[in-house]
Chains A and B, each alone.
Chain A
Amino acid sequence: MKAIGLALASCALAVLLAVSVGSGGFGVPDDGWLREQRGLRALAALLTGMGLSLGGVWAQALFRNELVEPFLLGLSGGAAAGAVLSLWLFPGSSPAVGAALGALGAALAVRGLAWQSDASLLLTGVAVGSMTGSLAGLVLTLSAQAQLLRPATHWLWGGFVDPDPQLLAAAAASVLLGLLATWFARDHLDRLLLGDDLARALGTPVGALRSFGFLLISLLTAVCVLCGGIVGFIGLLAPHLARRLVSGSHATMPIVAGLLGGGLLVCSDALARSVFAPREVPTGLLTSLCGAPLFLLALRRRPV
């Protein structure tokens, strides 16, 4: 409970920072629209961070591998290809819907192509991600009208400009579903860490849990991509940080991971629109920039 309180406090601090810092420095803006936007952006970043962290927790448990994150299953490449193709085919449209469809399409392709083992699923994910990512790069490189694809270049690194309240409601519902599913499956996830045979012997429906987990990771990632583009690293980092605060048990660790991941992304977004003002840089860049030293510190204190 102490760890949850600590994570909750850091999350609250991050939100406070996000609503009180802007391109003009510290201070709450007079303009009501700007105040509202800061709040919506913080909420979008929080939900995306929580969603990706929960996806990371599930991915690491399903594959019993602490190096796995949701985007490793081919979802980021699929999202990138979907975003770029949608901008190419429908110039002027938002790349978000194409990206979410691309992520889901990649997930289905990975699942369809690899059902023999965890290793084949993971390797297929890497291959599909690489292939679809290259497809996105090819379109970006070959397109004669490069300016039409400019929205993609910023968006591919992630960000929370122009948050859509309806999307936020969908993201909140998905994160809630993720939290509830994790809570109810906590014992099964713990048993999965012991190996498939032992988990089966203890009554865990391994196959069904894997299929459900894969579906949940795909859903959470697609919704997060819709909200904030491709924000890498959070899904890997947050579960690791959480394991440093609480045990690896899935009773409290996923909640702590979600809060830490959400808080970190809220902080990154606040910095993305204020540190280089009047410029705004992609949030995903700062997430990796700020998150990697934290990750290395955590590893130094307690090696994996």
Chain B
Amino acid sequence: MRKFAISACLLAACSTPAAGGAVAGCKQRLVSLHDVTTEAVLRYGAGACLVGVSDPTDLDADLVAQLTATPRVQSTESVLAAKPTQVLALAIVAEHQPELFRELDRRQIGWIAPRLERLADVAALAADVATRSERQHEAADWLARLGAVRPAAGPNRPRVFVFDCCAPPYTAGRRAVLSDLLAQAGAENVFGDVDDDWFHASWEAAIERRPNLVLIDDYGGPADLAAKRAALARVLPLAELPVVVLPLRDALGTIRSADVVEQLTAAIARSRG
């Protein structure tokens, strides 16, 4: 009898978890593993459909407040325990946790993990999240705004050096969404020819490319921005250049990217007098 009970327990532990119950008002049980997808779900009004979310690292406070009751997930086990029907992520998550996505395939759970390199990729992701969360109607305005972004035209496009952090400087290459956002705002990333998303350049290379504007990625908090300004001040050839500050969450590409392009265009115009 005891052996039978142990065998039954083991069998139950190894079996595939049954599908989770429906969430009120939602046809899908959503798990979001990246701030970008979490923001889209919340702004579409599908926050109640989230049955798991990765720890938010750089979301607006009002969005974080909506996640207080949502279980935090990260490992393969915790994601599967949430019994999602759709998992939303970006390519970087899939690269770090390939076993999770293999398991999702095996269990026939829907997932997306696109690589964002251009504004068009952001728009495609925004549309995909709208479809998977079944909020196409709520997403219509956001998608229309993203689709309406047109590159700002004009002579003398400012040459921008993106300073994310660190020494040697961490900066954006051609495959970072920020390069495309800058292009849409009528500027040019000095490292836009480098076939990479984000990488460590040398100060020397940054100076040799003769930027006339610096864009600082702001991680939040006065200490971070002050430290970055101090680091720039030590690099004399860049110290006198006008600076535009962009919150990190805006630099990575979000459903608000149309607004970000507008803000960037205005900030660049202001910085150039």
Contact = CB atoms under 8 A, between A and B. Distances in A.
A24 interface: yes
For chain B, which range describes its interface: under 10, 10 to 19, 20 to 34, or 35 or more residues?
A: 35 or more
Contacts of A31: 207, 237
Contacts of A197: none
A269 to B, nearest CB: 11
Contacts of B168: 154, 159, 161, 273, 280
A144 B55 contact: yes
Interface string A273-286: 10001111100000
Contacts of B93: none
A278 B167 contact: no
A129 B11 CA distance: 43
Contact of A147 (B203, B205, B219, B234): B219
Nearest to A273: B202
B221 A91 contact: yes
Interface in B156-203: 164-168, 170, 191, 194, 196, 199-203
B208 interface: yes
A147 B202 contact: no
Nearest to B224: A92
Contact of A162 (B221, B228, B234): B234
B200 A91 contact: no
Interface in A1-50: 22-24, 29, 31, 33-34, 37
A117 interface: no
B202 A23 contact: yes
A184 interface: no
A37 B203 contact: yes
A200 interface: no
A281 B200 contact: yes
Given A37-B204, A162-B167, A273-B204, 13 more contacts: A23-B202, A31-B207, A34-B204, A92-B223, A92-B228, A93-B227, A144-B55, A145-B57, A150-B166, A151-B166, A154-B200, A162-B203, A279-B199
Interface of B: 55, 57-58, 164-168, 170, 191, 194, 196, 199-209, 219, 221, 223-224, 226-228, 231, 234-237, 248
